[in-house]
Amino acid sequence: MKLSIRTVDLHLRHTFTISRGSRDVIPTVLVEVEAEGIVGRGEASPSAYYGHTPGSVTASIERARPLLEKGDPVRYRALIGDLEAALGGDRAALAALDIAIHDWAGKRLGHPLHRLLGLDPARMPLSSFTIGIDEPARMVEKVREAAGFPILKVKVGTPRDLETVGALRAASRAVFRVDANGGWTAREAVEKARALAALGVEFIEQPLPPDRLDDMAALRRDSPLPLYADESAVTAADVPRLAGRFDGIVVKLVKCGGILGALRMVEVARAVGLKVMFGCMVESSVSISAAAQIGPLADHLDLDGAILITDDPFRGARNVEGHIILPEGPGLGVEPAAG
C-alpha cells in the first residue's frame, strides 16, 4: 500500500475547556493508504495528555511505511497485528493506520464496516453532546443552543460544579452526564455525586485521577451514581482491574489503537461485567465515522467531535441531535467535504 500523511488544524466552534485546560484549534493527523486504486482514510487526533503530538504520531506512522508497502490489506487483521508489533506502543499512530486499513478493506470487499463486522445499525445508542466548562451563564446559553440534543455531557471539575449543573438543570430537560476528567478529590467526589444524583444526573465520567483506583473502590460503594472510566481505561489491559471500581469504561479509538483495539476493549469489558461508552476527541468525520461504524456495540455514545468544529474536511456518519446516522458507502463511508 502507498501511504500519505498530513496534519490539518481543526477549528472549534466555541473555545473548549475541560478541567485540564482550554483549546481553540486542534491539530489532527490524517492518513491515506492506497492500493488497487482504492483509498482508505484514517486519523489520529494527538492528545498531549497521552504524550502525543502531530510530530510524534507522524514519525511513528512513517516507521510503518515498509510494512504497509509489502503488506496484504485484504488480510487486514494480520496486517494490523504486524503494525501493532512494529509501532512500539504508539497507539495513536496505530489508530490512524488501523482505521485507514479497515476503510480500505471495507471498500475493497464492498461493505460498510458495520456489515463486515456483523453489527446491527438499529442498535445504535443515542449520542450525547458536550458542554465545555465556562461561566455558568455562558454554559446555560450553550445548553439552550443544544436544545435539540436529548443527552448532554457537561464538563465539570471546578469549585462551582453544583451551582453550574443546578443552573443547567433549570434551563434544560435533557439527560445530563458529567465528566470531571479526573479533576475531583475523593471526598469532593462523594459529596458531588450525591448532589448530582439529586439533580437527576445519569452518570459520572472519570471523577478521580486515573491512578486513584483504591479511592475508586470506596467511591463506588458510596456513590449513588454509576461511574465510568475514561483516562483510567486506555487499552484492554487496563480493563480487568476496573471491575468493582467503575460501572463502565469509555473507549476511544485514538487511546486504544483503532477498531481492533476497541473491539478488544469491548470484549474484555463485557467479560468482567462493565458497560461501554464510545467517546471521541475533537476530530474529523474520519475518526467519528470509524467509531460510529462500531457504535452498535456500545451502551452509550459520545460522538460529537466533528460537530464541535467549523471546518470538518470530510462528511460521513452524521450526528443529528444525538441520532447517529451511518452513511451508505463501503468502509467508513467517508468522502471529502468538498467532493
Binding site for Mg ion (CB under 5 A): 179, 205, 230
Nearer to Mg ion, 179 or 283 (CB): 179
Spatial contact of 228 and 249, defined as CB atoms under 8 Å apart? yes
Residue closer to Mg ion by CB (options 104, 203) is 203
Q: What is the bridge-based pairing of β-strands 227-229 and 248-251? A: parallel
Shortest reach from residue 121's CB to Mg ion, in Å: 25
Q: Which is nearer to Mg ion, 1 or 291 (CB)?
A: 291
Shortest gap between Cβ of 339 and Mg ion (angstroms)?
33
How near is the Cβ of 228 to Mg ion at its closest, in Å? 8
Whose Cβ is closer to Mg ion: residue 150's or residue 210's? Answer: 210
**At its nearest, how many Å lie between Mg ion and the CB of residue 69?**
37
Looking at the Cβ atoms of 35 and 156, the one nearer to Mg ion is 156
Q: How far is the CB of 179 from Mg ion (least distance, A)?
A: 4
- Separation CA 2–CA 32 (nearest Å): 8
Using Cβ positions, the residue closest to Mg ion within the complex turns out to be: 230
310 burial level (CB within 10 Å; 0-12, 13-18, 19+): exposed
- Rounded CA-CA distance 72/85 in Å is 16
| Contact (CB, 8 A) for 50 and 255 | yes
Comparison of 149 and 228: residue with beta carbon closer to Mg ion: 228
Alpha-carbon gap, residue 293 to 326, rounded angstroms? 7
At 13 the three-state DSSP class reads strand
Distance CA 222, CA 216 (A): 10
Q: What angle is formed at CA 92 by the lines to CA 41 and CA 34, rounded to 5 degrees?
A: 25
Name the packing angle between helices 259-271 and 76-86 (round to 10°).
90
